[in-house]
Structure 1
Amino acid sequence: MTRNLSGLLAPAAAVLLVAVVVAAVAGAWPPFVAVESGSMAPEVERGDLVIVTSTDRFPWGGLVGAAEPGAPTRFGSAGDVVVFDPPSDGQKPILHRIAFPVSAGEDWTDRADPALLDGDCATIAGCPAPYDGYITYGDANGEYDQSAGIAPIVREDWITAKALFAVPNLGWVRVGVDAAIARVGLLPTAVGFGGLAAATGGVGALLFGRIAARRTVRDDRER
């Protein structure tokens, strides 16, 4: 019974170990985020799992906007893609691209792309900039977050991680977990998904074991 229990729990433990190792390398926890909107399409689609790192983690340290010289290319365009969490009630973290930094009191529309603006500094709530921060946008949105009212100017301390690459469709698992936690709570979700992972791993181990056993018997007969 102890051996069977260990075999069932091994896959879940392996998944947790991989997550811990990735987090240690990335310097962020959790080391991935699930994408729930299409605002960064086509490079990042709904249901993708995005691997992230700490913003100061070598060799990906620092934050570089799309308009800055020598900006790195990430997800098909220039500039870092970051996860930021505005302190607004009920708003989820946002995965968008940095356009450029701004300083307190600046009329940042002078440096903005007119195609991504809806109005001028007199009509945009975050202009002049009330504090130092960043202008951001979703690649598929066609307008700065601060112009569209999606988010205020993003303070640096709101930015929790920098995106490195995306794994297509793998994020649906994370979305499902988050939905289950919101519905039934953390503990029942952990027990349920842990049991499912263990059972799936146990069934897989059993099937592979039977295949290996049959192959051994067949080899013995052939000898």
Structure 2
Amino acid sequence: MSDTTWLQRAASALAAFRESDRPVVSLARDLLWVVAVVGGIALLLYLFAGTWPAVVTIESESMVPNMNVGDLVLVVDEDRFGGLTTWVEGQRIGHSSFGDYGDVIVYRPNGADSVHPIIHRAMTYVDTAAVEESGLGQYYEDPHGGYITRGDNNPYIDQGNLRISGVGVVEPVKKEWIVGKALFAVPLIGYLPLHLVEFAVIVILIILIHDFVLARRKEKEE
């Protein structure tokens, strides 16, 4: 009996929340709807891509002209839709993506979570302590094996040349540091996440104006 009463009260409260004309309640309904839609999209992206984040925004010109600032890139698990292919392997088997051989990967530099991940092309994989990169014309002594990476618009590989504050010189990318590989990019859409706060403010203002207009219209009808 108590369970039935509790369910009845919950259903009554939900119906009142859904049908209320109070501005605060109406705003809360709209915001919950937005959160539900965004959450649903995020869940679908995760199920499809198998990784998180499933999308990243290009914030620098290191991958120009194949990726540009403001592009929104879908990132999938490195082994989804085929294994990860490096630039050297891509030349041999004819595999290319984003205008050049091999795959573009998103990785955490030196495994650090304190800085933004880097999205660069996987050039080759090394497993020795010192190696002269075949086809790259560059020599690098590395503390461990991993992927050698480079931005398409950069003259040098990341390893031994790219230094990040708080992280140090970028080392060969261990497999566990890889977030995923880039599948495709949508131009300009990435500007939205770059200005997420401003966008959220605009959405809330639109919702408030919409509710105000509806309330005034209802007052005139009454």
TM-score by length of 1: 0.69
- Structure 1 counterpart of 2:48: 25
Gap runs ≥5 in structure 1: 181-188, 210-223
The structure whose residues are more often strand, as a share, is 2
2:69 and 2:128 mapped to 1: Cα distance?
34
- Asked if the contact 1:42–1:140 (Cα under 8 Å) also holds between the matched residues in 2, the reply is yes
Q: Which residue of 1 aligns with 2:121?
A: 97
Letter in 2 for 1:133: G
Decide whether the 8 Å contact of 1:102 with 1:108 is kept in 2: no
Q: Percent identity?
A: 33
Give 1:110-149 correspondences, 5 Å limit.
111-114=134-137, 117=138, 121=139, 126-127=140-141, 129-149=142-162
Q: Secondary structure at the match of 1:40?
A: coil
Distance in 2 separating the partners of 1:86 and 1:8: 36
Give the drift of 1:96. Answer: 0.1
Structure 2 residue 154 is the aligned partner of structure 1 residue 154 = no
CA RMSD after TM alignment:
3.0
Matches of 1:196 and 1:134 in 2, distance apart? 42
1:2 aligns to what? 18
| Structure 1 residues 71 and 158: CA distance shift in structure 2, 3 A | farther
Matched, 1:164 2:183: yes
Q: Distance in 2 between matches of 1:18 and 1:89?
A: 24
Q: In 2, distance between residues paired with 1:105 and 1:8?
A: 54
**Does the C-alpha gap of structure 1 residues 97 and 153 become closer, same or farther in structure 2, counting only changes over 3 Å?**
same
**Residue pair 2:107, 2:117 contacting (<8 A) in 1 also:** yes
Pairwise CA distance, 1:73: 1.5
Choose 1 or 2 for highest CA Rg.
2
Name which structure has the greater RCO, CA cutoff 8 Å, separation 6+: 1
Q: CA deviation at 1:84?
A: 0.5
Shift of 1:204: 7.7
Q: TM-score, normalised by structure 2?
A: 0.69
Q: Report the 3-state secondary structure (helix = DSSP H, G, I; strand = E; otherwise coil) of the residue aligned with 1:51.
A: strand
User: Per the alignment, in what secondary structure is the counterpart of residue 148 of structure 1?
Assistant: coil
